Structure 1
Amino acid sequence: MTYRGKERLHAVVEHLGGESGLLRWLDRHPGLPRLTARLVALTSTLDRYSEDADVVEALCSLRAQNPPPAELEGVLPPDTDAETLSAVSYRVEELLFERHPQDAARLALAATDWLRNIARQATSASGQVGEMGDLMAHLHRDIDEAGAET
């Protein structure tokens, strides 16, 4: 993208109220714009939970009992740690920005299912782990609906 193009994009984003305004605007438009907004919402959420010690602990303790789906092979690092969710977030963004939105959506749906199941199995689920499960269910529905529009 040229400098002039970046300048114009920045002006549009600022006009819409920053990144959150841009995402709200995209979400109002069916198809690829809505799917993009919802995938970006997922990646932000994954990045936030990657910093939560209770979520990372639940992932570490339950990954062996609830192995990730095949769609996450090659995406997840071999060891479960704070980088696990960031790796998923990074790959979803990479697929999206390489213009493979359907692949990004499939990966996102697999990740949300897996994390929702992890949250259900967590015996001493903290509020954050339970919240993650609920939010993953919500994001799964949103991404699935938006993906069906494209």
Structure 2
Amino acid sequence: MGLPAGSTTRAATAVLLSLAMASCSMPNESAADVPVSLTIVNKGSDPIHCMINFGHWVTQDLGMIGQSGSKTVQLHRQAADGALYIPRADGQRLMMIENIFCSAPGDSAASRGQVPLLPIQAGYSQRYASVCRAGEPVQCETAVSD
């Protein structure tokens, strides 16, 4: 018993279309990770204190940022999924960034605000600025920096 006329051609076409669509949705595994700089700018009238939170409860203190001051952090963005990281000092592992928080000095619980990372994760630029202002919580907005 044979296949109906033209069914082999339709099946082959369906397979080729499926493969073509799948290749469009797969991340480009060969693309290199991109270095990204993030400048946190304090546009408020009071100082803020910022910290990077990595996976597994590891933190990096970025210190105090005074009124009209700024702090630049060098990050890397994974090409495959946009995840952000800082290479560990020994070069053996990537320190994956979960959040960057800023707060009023000495009052992190009540005033802690998050630096938005989604524009960096989803973007293509290599320079970003997050403008922050003290408050309860600290308010930050992240955008591409020219």
Question: When the two structures are superposed, what TM-score results if normalisation uses the length of structure 2?
Answer: 0.29
Q: Bigger radius of gyration, 1 or 2?
A: 2
Question: Whose strand fraction is larger, Structure 1's or Structure 2's?
Answer: 2
Question: Whose helix fraction is larger, Structure 1's or Structure 2's?
Answer: 1
Question: When the two structures are superposed, what TM-score results if normalisation uses the length of structure 1?
Answer: 0.29
Bigger RCO (CA 8 Å, 6+ sep):
1
